[in-house]
């Protein structure tokens, strides 16, 4: 495996990136020590959708009547920000500002409510609120600039975008969606703001506990599940034993896959799988790749958001470098605040890590979703009626539950601001975003990979319904001649953002290089001037303009 990773990294030619950036890529995205991790090739056994609704209608009604009375209240400004939750470049910083720096609490609750998880798995709303609050506190424990509650919310929102805007949710069971959302929310829980390598090199207690293997990732999982074992935080209390084991296994697989040292091997395995004539993609591996890509997706977001994340991440790196200096450890790559090439590091990160990851992930999604496209189309065609029914049910529920409180149409209960699934009409049937072949066209072309570049430079073209863009054939003859006909395709709003951000960084790299050259020239001139001044002060000037040799000391005649 290490040899395979070396082959992948060899594509980064020595003259393509500075040595410091190459060293960072090698130390972060490969395993420098040979390790083996046995994983069963046996596919997990997933429960049928029918089994997920085995509870009787009578029990559901009782639960709905009891639990819906305690739904969490959302501030009006938070509700306003969450209206853009489906956008690719959703601004989690705006959510944090609107929600008193509690983005995990509000976004996590909203997502689990939108997908109907609260109802389907009988999660007590008060318990969910307590759980999310505890998770939020854990993310804030070390006051990290980057790996904090905003990052957790950002990754969870990006996962949501992939689930609903590509149609991936239609490939998953409700339990798998529940596991995916929870994994995104807890994937960096209690992050220390330092890397796995720092833990190993400094011999931290956490590294000792997990034997130097996926140190942080193991801690995130273990600590989060310890929270889930507490009665007032156990949002899994009503899962059956089999459901719990399946969900826990999925979460463990997904979060462990966010260990960056497995990056190249993970991509290579998926590439090899997708080259098969009839690839059978394991759901655990697919979801692991999705979470990994969402975890490193900030360079694929709008520039202002990406730049803010970059500065925060570098500050976290620099703080680690300060610790390394104090401990007498060598600087980790990009951790020396006095000697780091910011623009070059981001160019390397985009070109060799993010772009290939997003490409492989998109290829995988198009392959696994193609067979279910007709099913998704039928579900989307009834979205209007289903959404209306869900809204009516929600309105009636709110009216009966809150009549004593004289609530009006401005009620900020999240149940009245989102499509809640208190019946069998889930978000799966209300999302009208998955493109499918159009039987009324000659070539059945789905969404082209370049569709998002025509919408806006911010890369949010995925907001438009698939029925409005992408289901008609291209008229300008600009289709890729190598593209297979009738191939199912998804929107890729990240491609535009990646291209634009890389262009900006390259322009910045040129300016930085010019500034360094000017500074070096100025320093050289200053050194030369100082040397000349020293030479002129070594002797006294003579009448002819020369210098007089200093006289030797007179001998003592006394």
Distance from C-alpha of 315 to C-alpha of 386, rounded to nearest angstrom: 47
Does 320 carry a binding-site annotation? no
Nearest to 179 by CA among 90, 111, 275, 267: 111
Does 151 carry a binding-site annotation? yes
Label residue 553 exposed, middle or buried (CB < 10 Å: 0-12, 13-18, 19+): exposed
Question: In a structure prediction context, what are the per-residue pLDDT tens digits for the chain, which is 558 residues long?
Answer: 455 555 566 655 556 677 777 787 778 877 654 343 344 444 444 444 444 445 444 445 444 544 444 689 999 999 999 999 999 999 999 999 999 999 999 999 999 999 999 999 999 999 999 999 999 999 999 999 999 999 999 999 999 999 999 999 999 999 999 999 999 999 999 999 999 999 999 999 999 999 999 999 999 999 999 999 999 999 999 999 999 999 999 999 999 999 999 999 999 999 999 999 999 999 999 999 999 999 999 999 999 999 999 999 999 999 999 999 999 999 999 999 999 999 999 999 999 999 999 999 999 999 999 999 865 555 444 433 333 333 333 333 343 344 344 344 344 555 434 444 443 344 554 443 333 333 333 333 333 333 333 333 333 333 333 333 333 333 333 445 455 556 789 999 999 999 999 999 999 999 999 999 999 999 999 999 999 888 887 655 555 555 555 555 555 555
The tokens describing 110, both together, are 């909203």
For residue 478, tell me if it sits in a domain.
no
N-to-C CA span, the chain:
86
The tokens describing 160, both together, are 């949501």
For residue 353, tell me if it sits in a domain.
yes
For residue 31, tell me if it sits in a domain.
yes
Domain limits for position 73: 2-35+57-401+412-419
- Which residues, other chains included, contact 366 with Cβ-Cβ below 8 Å and sequence gap of 6+? 487, 488, 489, 490
Three-state SS at 218:
helix
pLDDT given for residue 15 in this prediction: 62
Helix axes of 103-114 and 174-186: crossing angle, nearest 10 degrees: 170
Does 346 carry a binding-site annotation? yes
Label residue 92 exposed, middle or buried (CB < 10 Å: 0-12, 13-18, 19+): buried
Does 282 carry a binding-site annotation? no
The tokens describing 481, both together, are 């001649």
Half-sphere exposure of 336 (CA within 13 A, CB side): 12
Distance from C-alpha of 416 to C-alpha of 394, rounded to nearest angstrom: 7
Three-state SS at 533:
helix
For residue 535, tell me if it sits in a domain.
no
For residue 371, tell me if it sits in a domain.
yes
The tokens describing 141, both together, are 């424990």
- The pTM (predicted TM-score) of the whole model is 0.74
Domain count, the chain: 1
pLDDT given for residue 537 in this prediction: 77
Label residue 7 exposed, middle or buried (CB < 10 Å: 0-12, 13-18, 19+): exposed
Answer yes or no: 147 catalytic.
Answer: yes
For residue 543, tell me if it sits in a domain.
no
Among residues 119, 147, 160, 263, the one annotated as catalytic is: 147
Nearest to 120 by CA among 67, 193, 81, 43: 67
Does 187 carry a binding-site annotation? yes
For residue 558, tell me if it sits in a domain.
no
Supply the CATH number for residue 249's domain: 1.10.1300.10
Distance from C-alpha of 260 to C-alpha of 221, rounded to nearest angstrom: 16
Nearest to 490 by CA among 440, 451, 439, 464: 451
The tokens describing 62, both together, are 């009782």
Does 421 carry a binding-site annotation? no
Does 150 carry a binding-site annotation? yes
Handedness of CA 180, 182, 183, 184 (dihedral sign): positive
Distance from C-alpha of 476 to C-alpha of 460, rounded to nearest angstrom: 23
Whether the Cβ atoms of residue 498 and residue 350 lie closer than 8 Å to each other: yes
Whether the Cβ atoms of residue 353 and residue 296 lie closer than 8 Å to each other: yes
Distance from C-alpha of 154 to C-alpha of 378, rounded to nearest angstrom: 31
Per the document, the length of the chain is 558
Nearest to 431 by CA among 183, 83, 171, 163: 163
Distance from C-alpha of 385 to C-alpha of 391, rounded to nearest angstrom: 10
For residue 30, tell me if it sits in a domain.
yes
């Amino acid at each position: 495996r290490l040899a395979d990773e070396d082959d992948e990294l060899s594509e980064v030619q020595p003259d393509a990136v500075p040595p410091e950036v190459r060293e960072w890529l090698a130390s972060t995205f490969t395993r420098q020590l040979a390790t083996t991790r046995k994983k069963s090739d046996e596919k997990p056994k997933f429960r049928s959708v029918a089994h997920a609704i085995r509870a009787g209608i009578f029990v559901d009604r009782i639960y709905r009547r009891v639990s819906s009375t305690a739904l969490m209240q959302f501030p009006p400004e938070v509700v306003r920000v969450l209206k853009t939750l489906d956008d690719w470049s959703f601004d989690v910083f705006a959510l944090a500002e609107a929600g008193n720096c509690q983005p995990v609490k509000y976004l996590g609750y909203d997502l689990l409510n939108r997908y109907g998880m609260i109802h389907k798995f009988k999660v007590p709303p008060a318990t969910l609120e307590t759980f999310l609050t505890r998770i939020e506190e854990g993310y804030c424990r070390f006051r990290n600039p980057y790996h904090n509650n905003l990052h957790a919310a950002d990754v969870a929102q990006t996962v949501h975008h992939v689930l609903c805007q590509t149609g991936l949710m239609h490939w998953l069971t409700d339990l798998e969606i529940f596991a995916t959302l929870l994994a995104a929310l807890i994937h960096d829980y209690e992050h220390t703001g330092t890397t796995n390598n720092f833990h190993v090199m400094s011999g931290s207690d956490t590294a000792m506990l997990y034997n130097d293997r996926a140190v942080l990732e193991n801690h995130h999982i273990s600590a989060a599940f310890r929270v889930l074992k507490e009665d007032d935080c156990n949002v899994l209390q009503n899962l059956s034993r089999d459901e719990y084991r399946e969900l826990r296994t999925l979460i463990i697989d997904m979060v462990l896959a966010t260990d960056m040292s497995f990056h190249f091997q993970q991509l290579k395995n998926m590439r090899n799988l997708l080259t098969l004539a009839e690839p059978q993609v394991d759901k655990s591996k697919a979801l692991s790749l999705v979470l990994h890509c969402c975890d490193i997706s900030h360079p694929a977001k709008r520039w202002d958001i990406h730049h803010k994340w970059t500065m925060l991440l570098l500050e976290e790196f620099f703080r680690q470098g300060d610790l390394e200096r104090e401990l007498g450890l060598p600087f980790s790559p990009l951790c020396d605040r006095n000697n780091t090439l910011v623009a070059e590091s981001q160019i390397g990160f985009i070109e060799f890590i993010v772009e290939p990851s997003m490409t492989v992930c998109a290829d995988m999604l198009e392959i696994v979703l193609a067979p279910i496209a007709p099913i998704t189309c039928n579900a989307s065609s009834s979205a209007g009626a289903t959404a209306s029914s869900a809204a009516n049910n929600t309105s009636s529920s709110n009216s009966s539950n809150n009549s004593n409180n004289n609530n009006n149409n401005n009620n900020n209960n999240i149940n009245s601001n989102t499509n809640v699934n208190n019946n069998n009409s889930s978000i799966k049937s209300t999302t009208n975003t998955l493109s499918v072949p159009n039987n009324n066209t000659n070539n059945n072309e789905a969404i082209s990979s370049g569709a998002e570049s025509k919408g806006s430079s911010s890369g949010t073209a995925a907001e438009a319904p698939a029925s409005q863009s992408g289901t008609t054939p291209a008229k300008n003859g600009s289709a890729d001649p190598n593209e297979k006909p009738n191939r199912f395709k998804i929107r890729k709003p990240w491609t535009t953002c990646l291209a634009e951000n890389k262009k900006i960084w390259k322009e910045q790299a040129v300016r930085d290089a010019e500034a360094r050259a000017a500074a070096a020239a100025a320093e050289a001139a200053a050194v030369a001037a100082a040397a000349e001044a020293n030479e002129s002060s070594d002797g006294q000037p003579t009448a002819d303009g020369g210098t007089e040799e200093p006289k030797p000391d007179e001998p003592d005649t006394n």
